[in-house]
Amino acid sequence: MEDALFDALVGLDLHDPDDAKPPGYSAAGRTDAGVSALAQTVAFEAPAWCGPSALNGGLPGPVRAWAAADVPPDFHATHDALQRTYVYHLHAPRRPKRGPAVDDDRLLAAATGLAGEHDFHNLTPDVEGSARDLSIDVARDGDFLVVTVSAGGFPRHLVRRLVTLLADVGTGERDLEAVGRVLDSEPLPGHEGIEPAPAYPLVLASVEYDVDFEVDPDAVEATRAVFEADRVEHLTRSRVAGLVADGL
């Protein structure tokens, strides 16, 4: 996303490609490759005419701007964020065609144990900044469990590794006591290490600031059209993949 944004700003003559970053640039955070974002927030010096619609003219299809705000010169998109919320869509049908089913109650119990203020050093490769106060909500939506995690900030891989742990407890691959071992001050032994869940079901859903953003209706409609077309393509691909799988 960042490279696409910088290229667009070069095209608008708002960024010198010889410079590492545009003037005043900061971002709410870096997401892993494959993670989607509804509310990634960036800041940079821009003239009044450079609103979302103008910016979208130089951006590739899946990277869209849809709201903007004027902020003080010392605003920093990373440090001034009050809270970030990620949503993970975990495919967990009650009667899966393959693999073990997830016990919702076990998974919810694991989520309860992980919520609150803990040091999550066993769920991130970061060696600093792993202590966080997490809010975790889990809700069933058909064949999916929607895991919503909020905090002031997140170390790398925390949400994806947390989801792996929840899923493992839910299927019985790990016992509920694994939550306590993960939150213990001692590093997990290698054979108990927790790998990140796949990136594509994860969405950066919101980043909250003490800022009033103005939504650009035209940019919203254009963005919606891009992702509605994307949804139709993926639904069609899913249907075809299902027909092939069921026909074997």
Stated as kind and residue range, the H or E segment containing 146 is strand 144-151
Q: Which two tokens stand for residue 140?
A: 């069933």
Catalytic: which of 19, 32, 119, 218? 32
212/235 Cα distance (integer angstroms): 35
Stated as kind and residue range, the H or E segment containing 43 is strand 42-43
Q: In what order do the strands lie in the sheet with 202-208?
A: 36-37, 202-208, 83-91, 144-151, 131-141, 116-119
Task: Based on the residue annotation, tell me whether 32 is a catalytic residue of this protein.
Answer: yes
DSSP assignments along 116-143, one per residue: EEEE-GGG-S-SSS-EEEEEEEEEEETT
> How many residues in total does the chain contain?
248
26 strand-pairing partners: 43
118/203 Cα distance (integer angstroms): 23
Alpha-carbon Rg of the chain, whole angstroms?
A: 20
Asked if residue 133 lies in contact with residue 117, where contact means CB atoms within 8 angstroms, the answer is yes
Asked if residue 67 lies in contact with residue 215, where contact means CB atoms within 8 angstroms, the answer is yes
Specify the residue for token string 């990140």: 196
108/195 Cα distance (integer angstroms): 20
Which residues carry out catalysis? 32
